[in-house]
Amino acid sequence: MKWLDTAAPGFEADFAALLDEARETTASVGGVVAGIIADIRARGDAALVDFTARFDGWQPGALRVTAGELAEAEASIDPGLLAALDVAAARIEAFHRAQMPADIRLDDPAGLTLGMRWGALDAVGLYVPGGKAAYPSSVLMNAIPARVAGVARVCMCVPTPGGLLNPLVLAAAKRAGVTEVFRVGGAQAVAAMAWGTENIAPVDRIVGPGNAFVAEAKRQVFGRVGIDSIAGPSEVVVLADRDNDPAHVAMDLLAQAEHDEAAQSILITDDAGFGRAVAAAVEDALRTLPRTAIASASWAAHGAVVLVRDWDEGVALTNRLAPEHLQIMTAAPEALFARIRHAGAAFLGRWCPEALGDYVAGPNHVLPTGRSARFASGLSVFDFLKRTTWVAAEERGLRAIGPAAVALAEAEGLGAHARSIATRLTP
């Protein structure tokens, strides 16, 4: 774990090193992924079966999960857990329904009618991780916005190590409106959804997190299909003053660290004693965590406590970090949040841990990583919608604005453009 102090002479160099930490690993797997994609394009389902045998350790007889298997999985789950899934699904749906935009129709003074129409994508591919952990919450967060947006076909691919499917993942898929589920994972699943195979029809956009191979595959198929983002390791920045319980903050940091050895957890505080107390609480908690090996590796390699002289410095450093997740645990969190320009999602107050947003708060937990919150946003219904603008003009409108268009077309040397308008203006 790193300790940085803005008052220290070498702070700027140390903070720059923290910003530039290489936690992404996609570049090293580019060649392997390109080979996988090429094989899927050439051999289709046969290649999918071979890769499943190689990477997941079993040979599937059928790639698609049947409706009977989905029902059987749901029946095997404790009713209390299904109720929790329903709470999450309802809250996520309500928040995303509130995002749905309205069409635009504008009658302008020149006599033209201008508009913008929103429409859903035809088909979306959802990738759900299934390696180090299974994430039914990820199914809800990716599939529900697609259904709310009006996507007719939602295809889900999930890896099945040893041939085992997580029942809660399947139950989440059923509740979220997923129309097809396939037991394939990795870069090969991304390639299959992008290019299509005998059993998996191609989609228009692929969303959902995954490992370095999945992220690199999404990068390589972009253009053939749309993607949500190139997701990297998870990260959190916590702004906390000394009036917090160090044990609470420690668990907030470890909630990100336990995702992956490359995850990053950073505490920014204005009190040195509190920062040391949190670091000690992290060490105590690591002794009892179920995923202590992963969390310990993450905290040791990428964890940091940053001591600032005031919250002006804290805000400035947070904007430079542009974190995926931001927790503000100060006396006036909304006042500080008003000054934050770059964060994927923010959680305000001492009673609002980021983990709440991972499951049941309502806003999406698929967020920009690796400082990309500077220019990107979290998943929403807008990822499953596209805009079509339209113009309607009668003769009066064309005569009002056409001459300006003719002049600009002629200035650009595009004679056919100019004439297509000018011929209509000639008596």
Q: Which residues are catalytic?
A: 324-325
Residue that the structure tokens 């160090």 belong to: 246
Nearest partner of 151 among 387, 390, 383, judged by Cα = 383
- Residue 86 three-state SS: helix
Beta-bridge partners for 347: 327
3-state secondary structure at position 315: helix
In what helix (H) or strand (E) does residue 388 lie, and over which residues does it extend?
strand 385-392
Q: What CA–CA distance (Å, rounded) separates 121 from 23?
A: 33
Q: Which among 272, 364, 376 has a CA at the least distance from the CA of 323?
A: 376
- Reduced to 3 states (helix: H, G, I; strand: E, B; else coil), residue 269 is strand
Q: Checking DSSP bridges between strand 235-240 and strand 325-329, what pairing results, if any?
A: parallel
Task: Name residue, tokens 């995850």.
Answer: 263
**Cα→Cα distances 258→130, 213, 214, 412, Å:** 15, 20, 20, 58
Q: Which of 266, 219, 244, 194 is nearest to 352 (CA)?
A: 244
Amino acid at 114: L
> Could you tell me if 228 and 243 are in contact, meaning their C-beta atoms sit under 8 angstroms apart?
no
Distance CA 259, CA 207 (A): 19
Contact present, 108 and 114 (Cβ < 8 Å): yes
Q: Smallest Cα–Cα separation from 100: which of 87, 118, 88, 83?
A: 118
423, two tokens: 């011929």
Q: Cα–Cα distances in Å, from 306 out to 11, 138, 151, 278, 422?
A: 10, 31, 44, 12, 65
**Strands 104-107, 205-207: parallel, antiparallel or unpaired by DSSP?**
unpaired
- The span from the CA of 95 to the CA of 380, in Å, is 10
Tokens of 337: 């949040």
Retrieve residue 30's tokens.
């580019």
Classify each residue of 217-236 as buried b or exposed e, where b means 16 or more C-beta atoms within 10 Å of its C-beta.
bbbbbeeebbbbbbbbbbbb
